Structure 1
Amino acid sequence: MSAALDTAVAALMKRAVETAILPRYQQLAADQVTAKAVDDMVTIADTDAERILAEGLAAILPEATIVGEEAAHADPAVLERLGDSLCWIIDPLDGTNNFAAGKPPFGVLVALAEHGVAVGGWIYDALTGRVCSAHKGKGAFLNGEALVSRTTGQEPPVAAISLVFADPVRRAALQQHIAPHYTLVDIPRCAAEQYPRIVTGINDVSIFERTLAWDHAAGVLFVNEAGGKAARPDGSAYRVDRHLEPGLVAAASPALFDTLAERLARL
């Protein structure tokens, strides 16, 4: 079932990218971009890709409900489905700000959850066609090959820390008490890129403040199934039906997670 599901979901993601996203890359007109909130936008590529994905995923597993980022923005009541017995979660264009600016990275995220827990995750890089996938208890895969998380091996470890959604006090605390222990690198503003970086030896750890299901469900599962650790800072599991709670840490190894979590607990 897992292999067949991977093939079907990856093919659908590729179709959405090639049909709705790439033809608009660096071709967007001003009226095809709309601000949803401060530092958050939606494009015609987002909405068209979500439609394609929602229709296709409904055909793959008709018994699953669907929560798409743009559908939830239009009607917050959609979020109540995140705890359903079976639920598809869609980020039709992750990294929209990058895409709208005509630069990489950007991709597509899809997850499948059971009763609020992600059991399947797929991450598609729009420009390279890279596919990351994971199934709960069955491992993580990169382009179909089994993947085991590896660290950068650098000291201090490499950290990508998202401060965009941190309040000023927390931002200052992170900069003062956490940042000095790591080699800091820019965040890609794209979870579809950030999570693969954590397990492929590019980054060691990452801190996220906002933890929306469509941004993190697939990536958290991918990191954990690869042998890294992604969880709430207190070590509790990330649940998609509690995605409005702040704070998430992802690390290339459990040891790196524990060290960072201990530092965060002292803030």
Structure 2
Amino acid sequence: MITPALHAAVEAIMREASERAILPHYQSLAASEIDNKAVDDVVTIADREAEALLTQRLSALLPEAAVVGEEAVFEDASVMERLKDGLCWIVDPVDGTNNFAAGKPPFGVIVALADRGEILGGWILDCLSGRFCHAGLGTGAWINGERITARTTGESTPIAAISTIFLDEGAREKVLTHIAPHYRLVDIPRCAAEQYPRLLLGTNDISVFNRTLPWDHAAGVLLLNEAGGKAARPDGSAYRADEYERRDLIGASSPSLWDDFAKIVAKIG
């Protein structure tokens, strides 16, 4: 299913979306082109234009595949049910929209292909640098055309990117009391298109995600696992794109680092 030709076609579509629908709006958004979807969650004209382009192009590429786009789901939550029905593109037209709307990096485009929740392919484009990551189930992970193996930071105190934004006070206190002593905590980039590559490239060792919506995570989970790292639910079960109501996900640059972190998480409940 995930052939070199398909990888190349998806990359071309994503770069077209970046060049035609996203970058022309970067650092030039009018106030009327930014809307609030929820507290601390915005959508811009670039999100809408990019999703329309991606939906059209990906649908033409694989007519048998449905499309689940972040903005389409915002307008109609029932679109999510397509993830359970069969072959499906999953689209995040602008990942890191808050950064994009503020006129700063990082932000990117994320696309995944799944079949009844199983992730078959994943593609991540950094719009500003042009860095392109892709992976196919069972065929490895690649960055800018070169096969990649995830590497750790090599630090004696592993580096963990953990957001406490969506945690309640009790959960935040657990992080500070039980996890912080074992790791050097760093802030998250608020952009999965950047956070997953950091686990491959020796920038971070651990990332913890509380919200695990498929357009943010399907591609990154496949990329990390195919590169020899590990992304899974805290109980060790696999991440599936159709289990979008579940929360919590751990990503690590090596399986051993994942195991060590998961043991701590299990102890604190």
Bin the TM-score by the shorter chain.
Answer: over 0.9
Q: Which amino acid aligns with 2:163?
A: S
Instruction: Tell me the residue number matched to 1:194.
Output: 195
Q: For residues 57-110 of structure 1, give each alpha carbon's deviation from its aligned partner in whole angstroms, at most 9, with x where no partner exists.
A: 001100001100000000000000112220000000000000000000000000
Instruction: Tell me the residue number matched to 2:205.
Output: 204
Instruction: Tell me the residue number matched to 1:213.
Output: 214
Q: Secondary structure at the match of 1:242?
A: coil
Instruction: Tell me the residue number matched to 1:92.
Output: 93
CA shift for structure 1 position 155: 1.2
Instruction: State TM-score, norm by structure 2.
Output: 0.98
2:64 equivalent to 1:66: no
Instruction: Tell me the residue number matched to 2:42.
Output: 41
Instruction: Tell me the residue number matched to 1:222.
Output: 223
Structure 2: where are the runs of 5+ without partners?
none
Q: Which amino acid aligns with 2:8?
A: T
Q: Which amino acid aligns with 1:129?
A: G
2:255 equivalent to 1:248: no
Q: Which runs of 4+ in 1 moved over 6 A?
A: none
Instruction: Tell me the residue number matched to 2:266.
Output: 265
CA shift for structure 1 position 42: 0.2
CA shift for structure 1 position 252: 0.2
Instruction: State TM-score, norm by structure 1.
Output: 0.99
Instruction: Tell me the residue number matched to 1:114.
Output: 115
Q: For residues 105-164 of structure 1, give each alpha carbon's deviation from its aligned partner in whole angstroms, at most 9, with x where no partner exists.
A: 000000000110111000000001111000011100001111001101001101100212
CA shift for structure 1 position 165: 1.6
Alpha-carbon distance in 2 for matches of 1:205, 1:216: 15
Alpha-carbon distance in 2 for matches of 1:135, 1:84: 21
2:156 equivalent to 1:155: yes
Instruction: Tell me the residue number matched to 2:11.
Output: 10
CA shift for structure 1 position 184: 1.3
Q: Secondary structure at the match of 2:35?
A: strand
Q: Which amino acid aligns with 1:220?
A: V
How many residue pairs were aligned? 267
Structure 1: where are the runs of 5+ without partners?
none
Deviates more, 1:240-249 or 1:65-74: 240-249
CA shift for structure 1 position 2: 1.7
CA shift for structure 1 position 167: 2.0
Q: Secondary structure at the match of 1:90?
A: strand
Q: Secondary structure at the match of 1:241?
A: coil
